[in-house]
Structure 1
Amino acid sequence: MQQVIGPELVGAYLHGSAVLGGFDPRRSDLDIVAVSRRALSDEDLHDLADRLGAGSYPANGLEFTLLTADEASQPQMPAPRFQLHRTTAGWDRHAKVVDGRTREGDPDLVLHLFVARDHGRAVVGPPARDVFGEVPRSAVIAAMKNELAWASAHAPREYLVLTACRAWFFHALDRVASKVEAGRWAAGRYERPDVIEAALVRQTGAGAPDIADAESERLVTYVERVLA
């Protein structure tokens, strides 16, 4: 990365489960957001994507995002702009390359940038709070509602349940937690904790009974009322 970006590199920051305490080497990916002083050329962006794809990473690969300093310090809401998004996976090193310059932004970056600012660990560069601008609480809540809607339609039930717990946790404490931490917190407060406890067991890879759709949706409905 430094070979391509060179002196234009402001910093690179570890975020996500690796800094929130929920990293699982069997299933987690490595989340990094980097910041450059200004936009890179087409050639440099392609070179960076290729180099990142050729790297070797632990766990489930790399999720990398590059922003300019302006995009990081003044994030556009509700869909922050970015320069490059690169993911890899153990089974496919060419998993995904997205040129952010051709898009209107990515709403998924709302949570990423919130966590990067509050919890990001500098691999290189100044402290994260000196680089990333504030993300409004209302934007985080909106992003969590969107993630919950997506998970209801597409994700495994344990992911849905723990995503609901994380949204509830943030609403109560104004802090983003790992899914495991949020699940443990919510299990002590929800009237039907069995569904959360089952999701926690499944999240750690241990055997557990299937989670009934009705029970997971009941929790989602409860959390949606809390967030409203």
Structure 2
Amino acid sequence: MGFNWQTCPMNVKEFVLYLNEKIGDILQGNLVGFYVHGSLAMGGFNPYHSDIDILVVTEVSISVDVKRQLTEVCLVGSNNPFPVEVSVLTKHQLDNWQHPSPFEFHYSEFWRERYEQELANGTNNYINEHVHTDPDLAAHLTITFHRGICIEGKPIHDVFPNVPREDYVSSIIGDYEDCLENVEQDPVYCILNMLRVFMYVKDGIISSKEEAGRWGMTILPEGLIPTVEKAAANYANDTEMYSFNREELIIIRDYIKDCVTQYRKGGVK
């Protein structure tokens, strides 16, 4: 079983509080709040392979120099010991919600190499004054609004909008469609993520991957349950305990795809 913020090991809390302190020092009086979402908020955090998802809200836009300082903190902190994903938005961007949402700064391990080169070379190809948009933010904000944790600052419902359902679905469907294509390459992530989408379009429940796996074991046909059990067991441990064959992956993918399509079209309830 995964951890949440209340039950996680002390080194996880210390790491989050360290990031909160470092980012707060950089932003100083511009910080509205520091919030945790994702698996650590929802109870599916696994120290062996989960990342820590963070949203930071500022009063006003941040300078390029501040973005560089945030990049340095993330490069040092991320993967030491846990990978982090951090997005920074202003209060104005939240109050004037649009999808895909603009943002001030973003870090994930996907960007590490480019950011390292950027700082080493003194260039501004990636860290600059341009405002970009991210369709994933609709999902991150929805999870934060409903299940997030406020580490410092104003309460969540005083800061974050209740993102429209159609924006949330739009946000999660891109990753879902990638999972339909890549289930053979990454079965654990894809099975559990497809189930999260299925759970939402069917029951309107925002869930962690761990919760979606448990739900799938109660709702899917009996023949598909062993596949979900294997995915859930692999996700809950630090090593791969079970393997999958191509046939079972295609069968569960096609079943979930058909169900999601039906519910999105307003079909069988």
Same fold, TM-score > 0.5, yes or no: yes
Q: 2:103 aligns with which of 82, 88, 91?
A: 82
Instruction: Please give the alpha-carbon distance, in whole angstroms, between the structure 2 residues aligned to 1:85 and 1:30.
Output: 13
Q: 1:94 aligns with which of 112, 123, 140?
A: 112
Displacement of 1:40: 0.9
Secondary structure class of the residue paired with 2:228:
helix
Check the 8 A contact 1:22/1:178 in 2, yes or no.
Answer: yes
Q: 2:259 aligns with which of 195, 200, 223?
A: 223
Q: 1:70 aligns with which of 58, 67, 92?
A: 92
Sort the Cα spacing of 1:15 and 1:222 in 2 relative to 1 into closer, same or farther, 3 A: same
Deviates more, 1:44-53 or 1:57-66: 57-66
Displacement of 1:200: 1.1
Deviates more, 1:49-58 or 1:6-15: 49-58
Flag structure 2 segments of 5+ consecutive residues without an equivalent: 1-22, 116-125
Secondary structure class of the residue paired with 1:102:
coil
CA deviations 1:59-98 (Å, max 9, x no partner) are: 5311111001111233311x11101001249xxx935656
When the two structures are aligned, how many residues end up with a matched partner? 224
Q: Which amino acid aligns with 1:27?
A: H
Q: Percent identity between the aligned chains?
A: 24
Corresponding residue of 1:124? 152
Secondary structure class of the residue paired with 2:150:
strand
2:241 matched to 1:204?
no
2:219 matched to 1:189?
yes
Q: 2:36 aligns with which of 14, 23, 40?
A: 14
Q: Give the alignment of 1:42-57 within 5 angstroms.
A: 42-55=64-77
Corresponding residue of 2:13? none
Check the 8 A contact 1:198/1:211 in 2, yes or no.
Answer: no
Q: Which amino acid aligns with 2:260?
A: E
Sort the Cα spacing of 1:59 and 1:18 in 2 relative to 1 into closer, same or farther, 3 A: farther
Sort the Cα spacing of 1:96 and 1:179 in 2 relative to 1 into closer, same or farther, 3 A: farther
In terms of fraction of residues, the more strand-rich structure is 1
Length-normalised TM-score, structure 1: 0.88
Corresponding residue of 1:2? 24
In terms of fraction of residues, the more helix-rich structure is 2
Measured on the aligned residues, the alpha-carbon RMSD in Å equals 2.3
Sort the Cα spacing of 1:95 and 1:110 in 2 relative to 1 into closer, same or farther, 3 A: farther
Corresponding residue of 1:146? 174
Larger Rg over CA atoms: 2
Flag structure 1 segments of 5+ consecutive residues without an equivalent: none
Displacement of 1:104: 4.3
Q: Give the alignment of 1:150-165 within 5 angstroms.
A: 150-154=178-182, 156-165=186-195
Check the 8 A contact 1:75/1:133 in 2, yes or no.
Answer: yes
Instruction: Please give the alpha-carbon distance, in whole angstroms, between the structure 2 residues aligned to 1:133 and 1:106.
Output: 16
Secondary structure class of the residue paired with 1:105:
strand
